[in-house]
Amino acid sequence: MRPVKDEIRFIIITGLSGAGKSYAIKCFEDMGYFCVDNLPTMLIPTFAELCTQSTRTIRRIALGIDIREGEYLDHLIETLGELRARGHPTEVLFLEATEEALIRRYHETRRRHPLAGSGTVLDGIRMERERLAHLREIADRVIDTSHITVHQLKEALVEWYGSPGSRASLGVTLVSFGYKYGLPYDADLVLDCRFLPNPFFVEPLKASDGRDLAVREFIFGHPEGGEFLRRVRDLLGYLLPRYQKEGKAYLTVAVGCTGGRHRSVALVEELRSFLEAQGLPPTVVHRDVDRE
């Protein structure tokens, strides 16, 4: 038995073709696992030994194993036993789906089933299910993906296999811009604040920008400015947790005024403070603040 310091957690991801194995591997990558797809099963013990000797700290590995392994697949159970004998916690995750769901997915993607040969997709599905029956029997967890979305699958995998830091925060970018220079091409949400009082027409404030406290006090000191800020905060407070739950990794919120110097910049600065207080410190870009 190896010392605890050399212990590596292995998750073997297997199952029926079309049931979501490739997407599951991406989810494990997002959770910080070192992922390898379709490594021959007989090489897994050697791979584990190399990982323990690596200067890079590798403590969680996800391996994709499927019917493409061919004859090597017969050695998987023996390989699992060897990993466990070396002191590596090892789990098998098996993904499956109904015949109807798998056929629909193959028709949508227009891909051939690896075992279909000259037969039908259904023939290939049934043959694969039979060949993988022994792996399903030894699986620590079986997930039927027939009636769940990829977002629900990711949520479940993070819940079962993730560490406390695996549920990555939503990456929010706040962009101020001027409509006269065009909309940001990468914006997910666009807020138009051109109806707010414009400091450009107030001589002492004209030369400043929305990062200046006096400019912000002028804008949000007006009833419509304060009300708009409250409503935008409420909107983001409602949307952001739902975007994150849906699995969205990045969100760009663009705020525009005429020139992109006063009102949009001021609103972005206020939203920056709001998001920081929510534990979602944003990236802030004032695209047009220095334009004439």
- Asked if the model's pLDDT at residue 189 lies above 80, the reply is yes
pTM equals 0.63
Instruction: Report, in angstroms and rounded to the nearest whole number, the Rg of the chain calculated over CA atoms.
Output: 27
Which range has the worst mean pLDDT, 59-73, 179-193, 214-228? 59-73
**Cα(114)–Cα(99) distance, integer angstroms:** 15
35's CB contacts (< 8 A; 6+ apart) are 25, 28, 29, 61, 62, 63, 64
Domains and CATH numbers, the chain: 4-161 (3.40.50.300), 171-286 (no CATH)
Say yes or no to pLDDT of 132 above 50: yes
Position 82 scores a pLDDT of 92
pLDDT at position 2 is 44
Rounded distance between C-alpha atoms, residue 129 and residue 15, angstroms: 8
The model's confidence at residue 1, banded by pLDDT at 50, 70 and 90, is: very low
Q: What is the pLDDT of residue 168?
A: 58
Least confident piece of the model among 25-29, 154-158, 229-233: 154-158
Q: What is the pLDDT of residue 166?
A: 53
Q: Quick one: pLDDT band at residue 4, thresholds 50, 70, 90?
A: very low
* Residue with the two structure tokens 């929010």: 172
Ramachandran region, residue 30 (left: φ > 0; alpha: ψ -120 to 50; beta: rest): alpha
pLDDT tens digits, 106-129: 888 778 888 887 788 899 999 999
State the average pLDDT for the chain.
88
pLDDT at residue 244, as a whole number: 81
- Angle, helices 76-85 vs 44-53, to 10°: value is 30
HEC readout, 205-269: HHCCCCCCHHHHHHHHHCHHHHHHHHHHHHHHHHHHHHHHHCCCCEEEEEEEECCCCCHHHHHHH
Residue 5's pLDDT is 53
CA distance 35 to 63: 6
At residue 271 the predicted structure's pLDDT band, cuts being 50, 70 and 90, is very high
Q: Are 249 and 170 in contact (CB under 8 A)?
A: yes
Instruction: Using the predicted structure, report yes or no on whether residue 246 has a pLDDT greater than 80.
Output: no
More confident residue, 147 or 72: 147
Interior/surface letters 94-113, b for 16+ CB within 10 angstroms, e for the rest:
bbbbeeebbbebbeeeeeeb
What pLDDT is attached to residue 111? 80
Which candidate, 162, 132, 174, 181, places its Cα nearest to that of 19?
132
Q: Say how far apart CA 244 and CA 94 lie, in whole Å.
A: 26
The conformation of residue 281, written as its DSSP 8-state character, comes to P
Residue 3 has pLDDT above 50, yes or no: no
Closest Cα partner for 51 from 59, 62, 40, 43? 59
End-to-end CA distance of the chain: 70
Please state which of the ranges 102-116, 126-140, 189-203, 262-276 shows the lowest mean pLDDT.
102-116
What is the per-residue pLDDT across 17-73, written as a single tens digit (0 to 9) for each?
999 999 999 999 988 999 999 898 889 999 999 988 877 788 899 999 988 777 778
Of all helices (H) and strands (E), which one includes residue 173?
strand 171-178
Please state, in angstroms and as integers, the Cα–Cα distance from residue 84 to each residue in 2, 11, 40, 45, 58, following that order: 10, 12, 18, 10, 17
Q: Determine what percent of the chain falls in helix, strand and coil, rounding each to the nearest 5.
A: 50, 15, 35
- The residues with which 62 forms a beta bridge, in sequence order, are 11, 35
187-210 per-residue burial string, b: 16 or more CB within 10 A, e: under 16: beeebebeebbbbbeeeebeebbb
